[in-house]
Structure 1
Amino acid sequence: MDRKLAVIMAGDIVGYSRLMAEDEARTYAELRTAFDAVIAPAMANAGGQIVKQNGDGFLAIFTSVNDALDAAEEIQAGFDQQRLRLRIGINVGDVIEDQGDVYGDGVNVAARLEAMADPGGIFVSRAVVDSAERTRAKSFVHLGRRAAKNIPERLDVFALKRPGGPRPARSWYPGSLVRPQALLASAAAVGLVLIGLSIQPLPLSAMMAQLPASLPFLGQAERADPRPSVAVMPFQNMSGDPAQAYFATGLTEDITTALARSAGLQVIDPSSTSAVSGERGDVRAIGKRLNVAYVVEGSARRAGDQLRVAAQLIDARTGVHVWTESYDRHVEDVFAVESELTAQIVASLVSYVDESERADAVRRPTGNLQAYDLVLQARSRFKHDARGADDLLAARALYQKALELDPSYAVARAGLGATYIVDHAQRITGRATERDAEIGLSEARQAIRLDPNLALGYQVVSFGLSMTGDHAGALQAAERSVALNPNEPDSLMALAKAQVRFGRYDEALTNAERARRLHPMAPEYYAYVHGQALYAVRRLDEAATVIRECLIRAPQDANCLLIQTAIFAARSEMADAQAAMKRLVSADPQFSLAAERSYRRFGDSPLMERFLTDLTRASAPETARTLQAKVREG
Structure 2
Amino acid sequence: ADTTSEQAFEQYLNGRYFLNRRGESDAMRARRYFERALRLDPSYARAWAGLAATYVIALDYGQPPDIQVQQAWSKAIEQALSLGPGIAETHVRAAQYYWWRGDWRRSEEHCKLAIGLNPSDSLVLSVSGSKALLMGHLHEALALQRRAVAVDPLSPSGRANLGVYLAAAGMLDEAEAELRHAKELSPTLPMIDSNIANVLVLQRRFDESLAIAEQMPVGALRDQILGLAHYGAGNVVAADAALADLTRRAHAPDADPSLKLRVAEVHAFRGDEEQALRGVEQALATDPSESIHAAIQARVEIMISPFLSALKDWMHLQPLLAQGD
Q: Same fold (TM over 0.5)?
A: yes
- Residue of structure 2 in register with 1:252 after alignment: 14
2:119 to 442, 447, 452: 452
* Residues in 2 aligned to 1:414 and 1:382: alpha-carbon distance in whole angstroms: 11
* Residues in 2 aligned to 1:491 and 1:303: alpha-carbon distance in whole angstroms: 27
1:256 to partner: Cα distance:
7.9
* Residues in 2 aligned to 1:456 and 1:500: alpha-carbon distance in whole angstroms: 21
Q: Are the aligned partners of 2:37 and 2:47 in contact in 1 as well (CA < 8 Å)?
A: no
Does the alignment pair 1:413 with 2:61? no
Q: Are the aligned partners of 1:375 and 1:402 in contact in 2 as well (CA < 8 Å)?
A: yes
Q: Give deviations 1:44-98, integer Å, cap 9, x for gaps.
A: xxxxxxxxxxxxxxxxxxxxxxxxxxxxxxxxxxxxxxxxxxxxxxxxxxxxxxx
* Residues in 1 aligned to 2:161 and 2:222: alpha-carbon distance in whole angstroms: 16
Does the alignment pair 1:371 with 2:45? yes
Q: Are the aligned partners of 2:159 and 2:182 in contact in 1 as well (CA < 8 Å)?
A: yes
3-state SS in 1 of match to 2:243: helix
Q: Are the aligned partners of 2:129 and 2:145 in contact in 1 as well (CA < 8 Å)?
A: yes
Unaligned runs of at least 5 residues, structure 2: 252-259, 265-275, 282-301, 315-325
3-state SS in 2 of match to 1:530: helix
- Residue of structure 2 in register with 1:501 after alignment: 168
Does the alignment pair 1:570 with 2:274? no
- Residue of structure 2 in register with 1:602 after alignment: 306
Does the alignment pair 1:482 with 2:149? yes
Q: Are the aligned partners of 1:458 and 1:478 in contact in 2 as well (CA < 8 Å)?
A: yes
* Residues in 2 aligned to 1:539 and 1:394: alpha-carbon distance in whole angstroms: 46
Larger Rg, first or second structure (1 or 2): 1
Label 1:609 to 1:274 Cα distance change in 2 as closer, same or farther (>3 A).
Answer: closer
Q: CA RMSD for the aligned pairs?
A: 3.8
Q: TM-score by structure 2 length?
A: 0.66
Q: Are the aligned partners of 2:96 and 2:107 in contact in 1 as well (CA < 8 Å)?
A: yes
1:473 to partner: Cα distance:
2.6
1:400 to partner: Cα distance:
2.8
* Residues in 2 aligned to 1:404 and 1:252: alpha-carbon distance in whole angstroms: 24
Does the alignment pair 1:472 with 2:139? yes
Higher strand share: 1
* Residues in 1 aligned to 2:22 and 2:17: alpha-carbon distance in whole angstroms: 10
1:415 to partner: Cα distance:
1.6
Does the alignment pair 1:548 with 2:214? yes
Residue 493 of structure 1 aligns with an amino acid whose one-letter code is A
- Residue of structure 2 in register with 1:269 after alignment: 21
Q: Are the aligned partners of 1:535 and 1:543 in contact in 2 as well (CA < 8 Å)?
A: yes
3-state SS in 2 of match to 1:448: helix
1:1-12 → structure 2 map (5 Å cutoff): none
Identity %: 19
Q: Are the aligned partners of 1:441 and 1:464 in contact in 2 as well (CA < 8 Å)?
A: no
2:64 to 380, 388, 413: 388
Label 1:301 to 1:503 Cα distance change in 2 as closer, same or farther (>3 A).
Answer: closer
Residue 546 of structure 1 aligns with an amino acid whose one-letter code is I
Q: Are the aligned partners of 1:414 and 1:447 in contact in 2 as well (CA < 8 Å)?
A: yes
1:534 to 200, 213, 224: 200
2:178 to 498, 511, 520: 511
Higher helix share: 2
* Residues in 2 aligned to 1:304 and 1:394: alpha-carbon distance in whole angstroms: 15
1:411 to partner: Cα distance:
1.0
1:393 to partner: Cα distance:
5.3
Q: Give deviations 1:494-521, integer Å, cap 9, x for gaps.
A: 1111111111000000000000000012
3-state SS in 2 of match to 1:503: coil
1:410 to partner: Cα distance:
0.7
Does the alignment pair 1:491 with 2:165? no
3-state SS in 1 of match to 2:80: helix
Label 1:270 to 1:609 Cα distance change in 2 as closer, same or farther (>3 A).
Answer: closer
Q: Are the aligned partners of 2:92 and 2:111 in contact in 1 as well (CA < 8 Å)?
A: yes
1:395-410 → structure 2 map (5 Å cutoff): 395-410=73-88
1:376 to partner: Cα distance:
4.0
* Residues in 2 aligned to 1:419 and 1:521: alpha-carbon distance in whole angstroms: 24
1:534 to partner: Cα distance:
1.2
* Residues in 2 aligned to 1:389 and 1:409: alpha-carbon distance in whole angstroms: 26
* Residues in 2 aligned to 1:401 and 1:303: alpha-carbon distance in whole angstroms: 11
* Residues in 2 aligned to 1:379 and 1:499: alpha-carbon distance in whole angstroms: 25
1:492 to partner: Cα distance:
0.9
Label 1:440 to 1:513 Cα distance change in 2 as closer, same or farther (>3 A).
Answer: farther
Residue 465 of structure 1 aligns with an amino acid whose one-letter code is A
Does the alignment pair 1:580 with 2:256? no
Q: Are the aligned partners of 1:458 and 1:481 in contact in 2 as well (CA < 8 Å)?
A: yes
* Residues in 2 aligned to 1:501 and 1:302: alpha-carbon distance in whole angstroms: 40
1:450 to partner: Cα distance:
0.6
Q: Are the aligned partners of 1:272 and 1:519 in contact in 2 as well (CA < 8 Å)?
A: no
Q: TM-score by structure 1 length?
A: 0.36
Label 1:301 to 1:522 Cα distance change in 2 as closer, same or farther (>3 A).
Answer: closer
1:596 to partner: Cα distance:
6.2
Label 1:400 to 1:303 Cα distance change in 2 as closer, same or farther (>3 A).
Answer: closer
1:233-248 → structure 2 map (5 Å cutoff): none
Label 1:458 to 1:303 Cα distance change in 2 as closer, same or farther (>3 A).
Answer: closer
* Residues in 1 aligned to 2:106 and 2:223: alpha-carbon distance in whole angstroms: 32
Q: Are the aligned partners of 1:502 and 1:603 in contact in 2 as well (CA < 8 Å)?
A: no
Residue 130 of structure 2 aligns with an amino acid whose one-letter code is F
Residue 78 of structure 2 aligns with an amino acid whose one-letter code is Q
Residue 277 of structure 2 aligns with an amino acid whose one-letter code is A
Label 1:582 to 1:457 Cα distance change in 2 as closer, same or farther (>3 A).
Answer: same
Residue 446 of structure 1 aligns with an amino acid whose one-letter code is L
Residue 389 of structure 1 aligns with an amino acid whose one-letter code is P
Q: Give deviations 1:464-505, integer Å, cap 9, x for gaps.
A: 433443322321221121111111111111111111111100
* Residues in 2 aligned to 1:481 and 1:254: alpha-carbon distance in whole angstroms: 17
Residue 235 of structure 2 aligns with an amino acid whose one-letter code is E
Give the total of aligned pairs: 258
Q: Are the aligned partners of 1:381 and 1:394 in contact in 2 as well (CA < 8 Å)?
A: no
- Residue of structure 2 in register with 1:3 after alignment: none
Label 1:395 to 1:271 Cα distance change in 2 as closer, same or farther (>3 A).
Answer: same
1:441 to partner: Cα distance:
4.9
Residue 52 of structure 2 aligns with an amino acid whose one-letter code is A
* Residues in 1 aligned to 2:112 and 2:232: alpha-carbon distance in whole angstroms: 41
1:447 to partner: Cα distance:
1.3
Label 1:416 to 1:302 Cα distance change in 2 as closer, same or farther (>3 A).
Answer: closer
Q: Give deviations 1:420-439, integer Å, cap 9, x for gaps.
A: 44x3xxxxxxxx54x54x65
Residue 594 of structure 1 aligns with an amino acid whose one-letter code is L
* Residues in 2 aligned to 1:578 and 1:603: alpha-carbon distance in whole angstroms: 18
Q: Are the aligned partners of 2:88 and 2:117 in contact in 1 as well (CA < 8 Å)?
A: yes
Q: Give deviations 1:236-286, integer Å, cap 9, x for gaps.
A: xxx9xxxx9xx76532144689xxxxxxxxxx83648959x9xxxxxxxxx
